[in-house]
Every structure is written in C-alpha cells, then in structure tokens.
A and B are shown apart, each in its own frame.
Chain A
Amino acid sequence: MSGVRVLVGTKKGAFIITSDEKREKWEISEPLFAGWEMYHLKGSPIDTDRIFASQTSGWFGQIIQRSDDGGKTWNTPGGEKLPEPAGPPSGVSNKFVYDTSEETGKPLSTHQWYDGTQHPWEFSRVWHLEPSPTDLDTVYAGVEDAALFRSTDGGKSWHELAGLRGHESGPSWMPGAGGMCLHTILLDPNDPNRIYIAISAAGAFRSDDAGKTWRPINKGLSSNYIPDPSAEVGHCVHNMAMHPSNPKTLFMQKHWDVMRTDDGGDNWTEVSGNLPTDFGFPIAVHAHEPDTIYVVPIKSDSEHFPIDGKLQVYRSRSGGNEWEALTNGLPQSDCYVNILRDAMAVDTLDSCGIYFGTTGGEVYCSPDSGDTWTAIANNLPKVLSVEVQTLK
C-alpha cells in the first residue's frame, strides 16, 4: 500500500509521522534522539529505507546517523560491531575537517566576521543532508561555517569539496543571524556535474564540474542590507527549490524577495508580485506542476511571524508574480510562529501533498496541493526541518 513518511527534525529530537495515501489518519513516533537538535533528516531517492540524519548538540557536537530500515533502527555509519551487549555496528561518522591541502586549490582559513575582521573557519554543525539520486552511498552535507562535504561511503567519512570555500569571494562571506550556514543543496537530476548551493549570507553558487570549481550565481538579486545591493556575493539567500523535470529553473526565497531563474542561475528576476510581504524562509515546488510554487510570507526580518496573526501559505500556479492565499484549515488569528527554511516539503502522490512545520511545534499537511490543511502533529518541540518520503 502506498503512503507517506514525514521526517520531522526538531530542537529536541526527531519524529516520524506516517499515514497511508489518503493522508487522513496519522501516527507519530516516539521521539528519536531525544534531547538533541535534529537539524535535518532526509531519505534516499533510490531506497526509501535509507535515511540520513544530522544530530547536533552544543555540548557534544555533530553526529551523523543512518537508518537502513526506514527509521526503525539507527546507527552511526561505518563502525565495527560493538562488544556485547552493545550490539550492532556503530562508528565514527562525524569527522568534518576543512580541507587545507595544497592540492585542492585555495583553501581559506578565514572569512569575514560580524565586526569586519577576519575569523577562522570553524565547523559547528550540519544544516542539510542531500542524498544522491544516482548512488545510494553518496550524500552531501551543507555545514556551518559554510562549506560543502561529500561522503561516498554511506556517511562514514566526509571530504570537503574545497573549491567552494576556496572561491576568491570566500574572505568576504559573512554569517547571517543564524550563523554562516550552507543550507541548500540542489542536485541536477539530468547532469551529475551540476550542483547548486546557497549560503547565508553569501548567496547562491553553481558548480558544473561535480563540485571542483564554483561560480556565484546572484545576478539580478538586490539586497539593500549590503553596501552594493547588486554585489556578486553577500546576499542572504534563505532557500531554493527546483522541479526535477526542469532543473534550469530555480525558485528562491531570499531574505526579502522571491526570485526565479530560468537559466540555471545566470539571471534572476523577482516574482514577489502580489505577496503581502516577500520576506520568508522556505520555498517549495509542486511535485507534478513545475510552475506551481509555495511560500509562507513572514511579516519582516525582525518580526518573524505571519501578518496579523494569520498563518497563510501562498501558492502561485504561474511560477511567481500571481499569488493566492491558502488558509483553509490554518489558524487565522493569534498565530505568531515562524516556518524555518528546511521545514517545508512535498510528497509525490497523485494528489500532491504539501507539508510544513512551525516553530510552535505544529506540522501541517495539505493532501490536495494546498487547498485544505490539517495539523498532523501539535505540541512538538520547535520544528527545524520537514521532509517527506512517498512510499509506493
């Protein structure tokens, strides 16, 4: 039977929420990794039983977990079998070390700090995990301080794609309010050499050689919080999304502005149109309609909640500019939550489901492309990320 598995990362653990294809009745798991910050969980497009998870803590640092049975059991990948009674293999999966070797080009040691001085690059956590669509054991990790790592052994060992951090603009990258994080990784399904990433607050970058070299792709972005609003780098990109059938078209939710490119990022145009505010964090594309996109407008960069306490998802069926509010089933008074950048996802069932989680601990689902919404979880810890696996 088909169904969905919703992977929810929260401030205090992860939850797996499941339903059949009707998406009417939901079961919520016990907390996984209780007490840890779960920045992101994502399943492999090749095998839905394989799920990677980023588990972090201010005390104990970064852990990478992997499940090979759809989230029933988890291990830190790659270890030897532990002495009894501890049991199954569990190894070292958290060694994220910046590449400073001569061979990889121009690895940097510093970036710009808030006060304008240069600051050493320091690893703190994995924000986003992106499993490969073509190889089960390949997975990418976007980290803070901003860099891209890749594992080709199922998450056991990680190697930096140092050409990104080594880009000549690296010393000018600055942290956003949430840290200097690489939060978006889009892999072109038609071209294994093409990778898009986004960094707060540097902007979007593209590689056409599988991650060896990178170029900024921010032409058309305008940000009045940097000295040159149209600078090549320095933009606070919040999230990007792509439909797999049309990988040259990207949609972007920037700090302010919703943007679109149809040439792989070479040129961007604003498509905020009639949105009540174009500040926000996540952006998502409908599974079957490449020009249908979703955002959640947030009042402003200092007031991170919906306008007038009304939680509204906005949908455009024209790839931007013309937007409609989706409110059926969402709270329309006294709602002051935020929706973080990785906390929105879509399933691929015939009637596309849209999902998002809030900083107030709710997870909402619309099984009909956004027309109606239901809370499928209430009172979870602050939701950091939402991903959906479609089970067929």
Chain B
Amino acid sequence: MIRVTIPAHLRTLARVEGELEFELDPPVTQDVLLTAIEDRYPMLKGTIRDHVTKKRRPFIRFFACEEDLSHESLDAPLPQKVVNGEEPYMVVGGIAGG
C-alpha cells in the first residue's frame, strides 16, 4: 500500500482527511502515482502539475525518504520504502515569501 500526503488545501479540495492510500502494480514511478492521484481525485488535476505539459507547479515539491524527488525523472521508480508503504510520498507546498 503506497501512502501519500498532500497539503491541507488540497485535502480540503479533495474532501479527504489524512493520508491517501493506493494499491498500484509495479513498476511504480512518480508519474504512475501522480496519475493515480489525479484519476481518483479529478479536482486535483492542474493543482499539482500542469494539465497539458504535466510539469510540476513551481511551488510544489515531492519528498520521500528524506530526499527531494522534485527534480528526478517522473519515469524513475519510486524508492522501495515508498512502494512497500514504510515511508509516505509527500506532495508539499513549498515555503515561499519572507
């Protein structure tokens, strides 16, 4: 079971509480996981990444296992600890401003 955390504003928008959980067939990449999030919660389309280009929105970051995966290839496999549910995949609203 893959665990995903999303920012509070997006939890409100998707009307969910706590972590999201996904059962996905391997190989699980960031793109596979983000697509699964958008398919289950269509109102989140466009809020994490662009509708058309699929580029991550500028102030969104992807963290897992104390690593910043934001600049990793979307087609790279996710860390095994994320795939087996030991660690969550975190969609984060980056801190901006002063």
CA distance A83 to B16 in the complex (A): 10
B98, chain A: closest CB distance, angstroms: 14
B27-35, B40-48, B67-75: which lies at the A interface? B40-48
Q: Which of B57-98 contact A (CB under 8 A)?
A: 57, 59-60, 93-94, 96
Q: Are A76 and B43 in contact (CB under 8 A)?
A: yes
Q: Is A226 an interface residue (CB 8 A)?
A: no
**Is B10 among interface residues, defined by CB-CB distance under 8 A?**
yes
**Residue in A60, A80, A87, A97 whose beta carbon sits within 8 Å of that of B9 in the complex:** A60
- The interface on chain A, measured as residues whose beta carbon lies within 8 A of the other chain's beta carbons, has a size of 23
A91 within 8 A of B: yes
Distance in angstroms from B46 CB to nearest chain A CB is 5
A35 at the interface (CB under 8 A from B): yes
> How far apart are the CA atoms of A308 and B15 in the complex, in Å?
48
B13: interface (CB < 8 Å): yes
Complex: how many Å from CA A82 to CA B40?
8
| B88 → A minimal CB distance (Å) | 19
Q: Are A82 and B15 in contact, with the CB atoms below 8 A?
A: yes
* Contact for A92 among B10, B43, B93, CB less than 8 A: B43
CB <8 Å contact, A91 and B47: no
A372 CB-CB contact with B under 8 Å: no
Is there contact, CB below 8 Å, between A90 and B42?
yes
Does any Cβ of A come within 8 Å of B18's Cβ?
no
In the complex the two chains form, is B51's CB within 8 Å of A95's CB? Answer: yes
In this complex, how many residues of chain B approach chain A with their Cβ under 8 Å: the count is 23
- Contact A58 B96, beta carbon cutoff 8 Å: yes
- Which residues of A are found within 8 Å of B13, using beta-carbon distances? 60, 63, 76
Chief secondary structure at chain A's binding surface: loop
Q: In the bound complex, do residue A94 and residue B15 qualify as a contact, i.e. CB atoms below 8 Å apart?
A: no
CB–CB A59/B46 < 8 A: no
Convert A59-101 into 0s and 1s, putting 1 for each residue whose CB lies closer than 8 angstroms to a CB of B.
1111100000000000010011011001100111111010000
Residues of chain A within 8 A (CB-CB) of B40 are 83
A61 to B57 CA separation, bound complex (whole angstroms): 8
Closest residue of chain B to A55, judged by CB? B13
Closest to B96 in A: A58
Can you offer 14 A-B residue contacts whose CB atoms are under 8 A? A36-B9, A58-B59, A59-B57, A59-B59, A59-B93, A60-B10, A60-B48, A60-B57, A82-B15, A91-B43, A92-B42, A94-B47, A95-B46, A95-B51
